[in-house]
Amino acid sequence: MQQMSVTGMLKTMIPISRFNKGEANKIFDEVETTGTKIVVKNNKPACVLISPAKYESLMEMLSDFILREEAEARMEQQDGSGNRTQEEMMQEFGITQSELDAVDVELE
């Protein structure tokens, strides 16, 4: 994720009065071009405008982080006593390596 300089952050700030002046469409175009706008109300940040694509990207990143934290917590609690090898699982379920090799898998 990119870090933003103070100058860059100041350039993204817009007063809420621009919305009151009917400049919403222009602001939304700027968001699409620059990626982020910080709306300032009474000299305080009131909200951050980002593109839907950037929002989706951030939500995916957050979801990935939460899942990683959960996986790490579970791994710390795992003592390994119940672990089985892939070969043991394949034997238990009656699956051969050639059957696995024949399966097409698509990952997103």
Summarised one tens digit per residue, pLDDT across range 68-78 is 999 999 888 88
Name the architecture of domain 1-78.
3-Layer(aba) Sandwich (3.40)
Q: Is the pLDDT of residue 83 over 80?
A: yes
Distance of CA 56 to the CA centre of its chain: 6
* Domain boundaries of the chain, sorted by first residue: 1-78
Record the pTM: 0.58
Contact 37, 14 (CB under 8 A): yes
Share of the chain above pLDDT 90, in %: 44
Helices (H), 1-108: 6-12, 17-20, 24-34, 52-77, 86-93, 97-101
Contact 32, 53 (CB under 8 A): no
